[in-house]
Amino acid sequence: MGRAVMVGREPTGAGVLVLSILIILTAEGCRAQKGDGCGPSVLGPSSGTLSSLGYPGTYPNNTVCEWEISVPRGNRVHFRFAELDIEDSNCQVNYLRLYNGIGPERSGIVKYCGLRVKVKELIESTGNQVTVQFMSGTHHTGRGFYLSYSTTEQTDLITCLDKGTDFPEAEFSKYCPAGCLTSTEEISGTIPNGYRESSPVCVAAVHAGVVSNAAGGRINVVSSKGIPHYEATLANNVTSTGGTLSNSLFTFRTNGCYGTLGLESSGVADTQLSASSVWEWNNILGQDSVWAPSGARLKRAGLPWASSQMDQQQWLQVDLKREKRITGITTTGSTLREYQYYVSAYRLLYSNDGQQWFIYGEADSSQDKIFQGNTNYLHEVRNNFIPPIEARFVRINPTLWHQRIALKLELLGCQNTNTVRPGPRMFPPSRRTPPPAGTKRPPHLGGTTHTPDIRNTTMPPHTGKDAALAAVLVPVLVMVLTALILIVVCAWHWRSRKKSSEGAYDLPHWDRTDWWKSMKQLLPSKMVETEDLVRYSSSEVGRLSGRGAVPRLHAEPAEYAQPLVSGVTTLGARSTFKPDEGPDPGYSDPDLYDAPISPDVYHAYAEPLPASGSEYATPIVIDMGCHPSGGSSLNQPPAVCGFMGARTDGGHSGRSAYDTPKNATGQVTPTEDLTYQVPQSSTQKPTGKS
């Protein structure tokens, strides 16, 4: 069985590192391909991809190429075209033809010639061997052709150009051919978030590590709602680009063996990491700088591992303590701006006992697998193993580096299971002769990184629904909680205001006005402090008449005469304020105190003054010691004093702390329940002293 592998895809953004062309001839000595018109192609034992030279550009004039394909006996081959665009000006020298068989015994299947020809059906052979012939003469247009093939067992074969938008199903399964890295189509996204729906499905599958470029394979795809941003990463020789919001995306369903194996999380101890050599040096501050293997942990700050020697015999080793299933590796450079070191290509060795080592090789070949490493010191690069490795010890052997060998890494995989997949061919290191130290030639990157089954990278179909439900419920819950908090705060604030306002209604009216607050400044401090303790009797207020609907007075004090308070010795002369001038006497003011009093109604508190006397009522003087006031000319002895005495201008004193009303003869009539001076009857002429 013969097969040819030609890999010609350059990862986007991967610098000047170009994938080498490999032609592998095996088994039955069949000619794989010949001619000068062959484009990038991968011819595998069960599937592959073919293209004309220069595709997707115009193919050259006067060229020819023949591909000879063989699949296992008992199988047949079928072809699916991704594009067919051959100038038809002269179909005798410009055409693509398929034959049953190889060599002189072959027979034609079909011949194509024409621009933008749509071939939707599968083209089948009658046996297990097929020859594909492409010829070109002089022409001016045409992109050539691009097709895929597989055994007829894979009835759902697709091409490397089929995109997520070409499949409307929410979930589907297809077969990807080998060699899809020959496509120049770009992908956008990464695992586990998913890929933009405009990405080629099979190229994304190689990037995700679901299938390998060298062998192809079956993929299970799940479509879901798009995301706002798609990350750009380099994995398995494929560079995905960043992307913005899209309507939908797709991911891959796998069987779940893609967890980290403990380097980042310190599940792997420092004693489990070792290296061929360690770089040590003194910095400008005289401090020792050791780039030890313990620093080779992905996403960890600090110095990475770096070797003291710069040759291809250096290695970094990880001991997992027991055999595990290893499906991939992620590496990065130093991650230090001042030391921009990184490994750009490496081999991978593994062992179960630490003594006998095997090099991971290309699938179905004796070639060492050279993995593409980092393209800068900072960003991560992932490579997957298809098939995976079953081993306890793993060694990374750098073959190409930038400035100095330095790296950090993380192994991907899971615990070993009873079901063991066929492993890669194992070769003792003694069979390998590494290139000379310090070589600068590019490594042989055989096609693409052999990617294992990435297990936990698939987004289940219901994930999109859960995300949409969460996107609705979270704002609703936030609004409800915010409303509850506002209600509680408002209730607390209202209750606090209510408590602070209690008792304010018992204060005098003028005490709640700015006018009265300014008047308080003219009064003695003790009087201001104790005025709220006094309550006024309104027993005589009911005698007023002529006020009609005016309500009765209860606790509000009069606005004109201030009450006398015990403990105050004297009150400054003529401290009674002048009442405001009111409107016409006939006007009925709802304010009981500011309104003027009609002539036929006496004021309830202050005794009227004579026309010849003072304009205002004189203050009442309190004598705490029961001694005559210096301003009085009367020599009458004071009355018997209790704990305090009160004296009016008439010289009379008693237990009452305030003036009491006089009777018709001008005598003071003591009253136990009266605490204010009330007006005299209408027949008595008021008297007073200035």
Q: What mean pLDDT is predicted for residues 95-108?
A: 94
For the stretch 475-512, pLDDT in tens is: 888 999 999 999 999 888 888 877 665 544 444 444 44
- Percent pLDDT > 70 in the chain is 59
Closest CA to 305 of 410, 406, 409: 406
pLDDT at res. 501: 58
pLDDT at 87 exceeding the cut of 60: yes
pLDDT at 277 exceeding the cut of 70: yes
pLDDT at res. 263: 94
DSSP 122: P
Say what the pTM is.
Answer: 0.60
- Cβ density class 560-579: b for 16+ within 10 Å, e for less: bbbbbbeebeebeeeebeeb
Cβ pair 16, 375 in contact under 8 A: no
DSSP 216: B
pLDDT at res. 461: 37
**pLDDT confidence band for 281 (50 / 70 / 90):** confident
For the stretch 602-627, pLDDT in tens is: 445 555 555 554 455 555 554 544 44
**pLDDT confidence band for 342 (50 / 70 / 90):** very high
DSSP letters for 47-92:
EEEEEBTTTTSPPPSSEEEEEEEE--TT--EEEEEEEEEB--S-TT
pLDDT at 67 exceeding the cut of 50: yes
- Cβ density class 116-133: b for 16+ within 10 Å, e for less: eeebeeebebebbbbbbb
Cα-based angle 104, 108, 110 (whole degrees, multiple of 5): 155
Tally of CA atoms within 13 A in the half-sphere of 471 that contains its CB: 8
The amino acid at 189: G
pLDDT at 305 exceeding the cut of 90: yes
Q: What mean pLDDT is predicted for residues 246-256?
A: 90
pLDDT at res. 49: 96
Distance CA 201, CA 252 (A): 10
Contacts of 336 (CB under 8 A, 6+ apart): 303, 304, 377
pLDDT at res. 110: 95
pLDDT at res. 32: 80
Check residues 650 and 222 and name the one with the higher pLDDT.
222
DSSP letters for 5-51:
B---PPPTTSTT--PPP-----TT----EEES-B-S-EE-SSEEEEE
The amino acid at 60: P
Kindly report which listed range (40-44, 149-153, 365-369, 589-593) carries the lowest average pLDDT score: 589-593
The amino acid at 12: T
Q: What mean pLDDT is predicted for residues 332-350?
A: 96
Rama region for 528: left / alpha / beta (φ>0; ψ in -120 to 50; rest) = alpha
pLDDT at res. 556: 46
Closest CA to 296 of 410, 395, 408: 408
Q: What mean pLDDT is predicted for residues 69-76?
A: 94
Kindly report which listed range (260-269, 319-328, 332-341, 572-581) carries the lowest average pLDDT score: 572-581
Peptide bond into 11 cis (omega under 30): no
Q: What mean pLDDT is predicted for residues 282-307?
A: 88
Tally of CA atoms within 13 A in the half-sphere of 459 that contains its CB: 24
What is the pLDDT of the chain when averaged over all its residues? Answer: 74
**pLDDT confidence band for 363 (50 / 70 / 90):** confident
Kindly report which listed range (92-101, 382-391, 443-452) carries the lowest average pLDDT score: 443-452
pLDDT at res. 572: 46
**pLDDT confidence band for 288 (50 / 70 / 90):** confident
pLDDT at res. 286: 64
pLDDT at res. 30: 42
Locate tokens 């008297």: which residue?
687
